[in-house]
Amino acid sequence: MSELIDRSTLGREIPLKVCLPCPMGEDFECKDCPLDKAMEMIEAAPTIDAVPVVRCGECNRRLHLCTFDDGSEHFQCTNDKSPCFFAPEVLGTDYCPYGERGEATPCP
């Protein structure tokens, strides 16, 4: 699975954390720095179309069913828009496009 980074955040953080305290001093030409080439490579890297998801374990429409010995948590989905609405249980790592991040629904 590919890992995703926020390119704009990385582009802001590298100069603040690496360039400002640069030991080469103010007269050093950044174009001579290997980090400048790395920044160019980051800017040129291909992008993908991705959006953050809300996993069932983070969704406010979940009902906690049980926690197994291996630590995996199982839930029931109470979101009537979700394709998992009628499923008897979902894992905390599952997700759907209708997830709503927040505190869990308390058990009745």
Same domain, 25 and 58: no
Same domain, 79 and 96: yes
Residues 105 and 65: beta-carbon distance below 8 Å: no
Q: Confirm whether 87 is domain-assigned.
A: yes
Q: Confirm whether 104 is domain-assigned.
A: yes
Q: Confirm whether 18 is domain-assigned.
A: yes
Same domain, 102 and 63: yes
pTM of the model: 0.55
Q: Confirm whether 84 is domain-assigned.
A: yes
Same domain, 73 and 100: yes
Q: Confirm whether 75 is domain-assigned.
A: yes
Q: Confirm whether 1 is domain-assigned.
A: no
Total domains present in the chain: 2
Q: Which residues contact 82 (CB under 8 A, 6 or more apart)?
A: 61, 96, 98, 99
pLDDT tens digits for range 49-85:
877 788 888 888 888 888 888 888 888 888 888 888 8
Q: Which residues contact 58 (CB under 8 A, 6 or more apart)?
A: 92, 99, 101, 102
Same domain, 56 and 107: yes
Residue 39's domain comprises 7-44
pLDDT tens digits for range 80-103:
888 888 777 888 889 888 888 887
